[in-house]
Amino acid sequence: MQLASDPLSMRIYTPEECERLDASCRGFLLFLEQIQVLNLETREMVIERVLALDNAEFELDDLKWVILMVLFNIPGCENAYQQMEELLFEVNEGMLH
């Protein structure tokens, strides 16, 4: 698979990917790319892992944990992992108050 590096390029999701990743999930992936938490390769790894999961329901919170696990297991992605962790726990802490 060849990934486009043009910042104006757009990822077209397959029907299977759209079935698993709803609009909020796809929007969140785009947001993470824009703030450079994910790059093209890590985004594709996340999508691959999501499709490999064997559960019927998949929501945005599930996606966030998959992203954390993918970033945690890639050498050199420590900053992206930390940024994602801050995003995840900052939102959850705000819900407690």
Question: Is residue 31 in some structural domain?
Answer: yes
Domain count, the chain: 1
Asked whether residue 84 is assigned to any structural domain, the reply reads: yes
Structure pTM?
A: 0.81
Domain assignment present for 10? no
The one-letter amino acid code at 81 reads Y
Give the pLDDT of the chain (97 residues) as one tens digit per residue: 545 456 667 889 999 999 999 999 999 999 999 999 999 999 999 999 999 998 888 999 999 999 999 999 888 888 888 888 888 887 555 554 4
Long-range contacts of 71-79 (CB under 8 A, 24+ apart): 71/37, 71/42, 74/42, 74/45, 77/42
3 domain residue, yes or no = no
**Whole-angstrom distance, CA of residue 12 vs CA of residue 63:** 18
Domain membership flag for residue 6: no
Question: 23: domain range?
Answer: 15-96
